[in-house]
């Protein structure tokens, strides 16, 4: 990786971070954030019961990640509850921001393997300024975590099709399992894998049948 390329990547990461922190400081709690955070607190307390069927997507185990910053500060302060509920939710948003930064790196990484450094930087640029990504990457919801885990699972499955070694297969399987803890949408990974598998091997199978 060239120095100029690294500088652009760092700049784009800084832009993503700036946009998200600005949003965190500016916007109040969204309608569904309390549901996600409340379930995260229950999971942190080892209570996995789902109480609100109407907000089933808000009750996913991955929400426990958003609770960690407030819980760490409480432990540091000897169990003292530091902030109001809204402030605790706001602290949890930084975990989603971190997930967004990780996703941007994977967008760059996969694009670079398919295209070239210029194409990868352009893909990362589009990601950094995507209204959808900016809207969800500063909230305590499961959407960004689901996007991250689905993207990584498909990336390593794609790797496994190109290079079927145990490392790629195990990582893809592991992330696919993790994705099921983020959102019910992750179930779509299984038909996606079937489609990718068929697209990779159907031409070879067709050629084999014709030769036979």
* DSSP summary character for residue 190: H
Q: pLDDT category, 210, cuts 50, 70, 90?
A: low
Phi, psi dihedral angles at 184 (to 5 degrees):
-65, -20
Interval 9-67: pLDDT, tens? 999 999 999 999 999 988 888 888 988 998 898 888 888 777 665 566 667 889 999 99
Measured distance CA(133)–CA(152) in Å, rounded = 16
Nearest by Cα to 96 from 181, 12, 20, 174: 20
Measured distance CA(170)–CA(162) in Å, rounded = 15
Are 111 and 120 a contacting pair, CB within 8 Å?
yes
3-state secondary structure of 186: helix
- The pTM (predicted TM-score) of the whole model is 0.89
pLDDT at 31: 85
CA distances from 171 to 19, 38, 86, 95, 178 (A): 31, 30, 36, 22, 10
Sorted by sequence, the CB contacts under 8 Å of residue 28 that are 6+ apart come out as: 86
pLDDT at 201: 77
Look up residue 84 and give its two tokens: 């109001």
Sign of the torsion formed by the C-alpha atoms of 42, 53, 58 and 61? positive
Look up residue 150 and give its two tokens: 């689905």
- pLDDT above 70 for 175: yes
pLDDT at 80: 59
Interval 80-127: pLDDT, tens? 566 778 888 999 999 999 999 999 999 999 999 999 999 999 999 999
């Amino acid at each position: 990786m060239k120095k100029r390329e690294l500088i652009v990547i760092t700049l784009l990461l800084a832009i993503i971070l700036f946009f998200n922190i600005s949003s965190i400081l500016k916007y109040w709690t969204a309608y569904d954030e309390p549901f996600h955070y409340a379930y995260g607190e229950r999971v942190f307390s080892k209570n996995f019961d789902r109480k609100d069927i109407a907000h089933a997507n808000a009750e996913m185990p991955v929400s426990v990640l958003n609770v960690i910053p407030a819980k760490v500060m409480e432990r540091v302060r000897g169990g003292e509850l530091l902030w109001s509920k809204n402030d605790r939710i706001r602290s949890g948003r930084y975990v989603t921001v971190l997930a967004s930064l990780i996703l941007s790196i994977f967008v760059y990484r996969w694009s670079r393997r398919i295209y070239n450094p210029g194409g990868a930087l352009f893909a990362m640029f589009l990601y950094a300024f995507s209204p959808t990504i900016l809207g969800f990457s500063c909230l305590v919801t499961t959407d960004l975590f689901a996007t991250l885990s689905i993207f990584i699972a498909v990336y390593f499955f794609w790797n496994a099709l190109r290079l079927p070694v145990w490392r790629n297969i195990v990582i893809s399987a592991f992330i696919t399992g993790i994705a099921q803890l983020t959102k019910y949408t992750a179930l779509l990974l299984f038909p996606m894998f079937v489609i990718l598998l068929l697209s990779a091997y159907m031409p070879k199978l067709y050629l084999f049948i014709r030769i036979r």
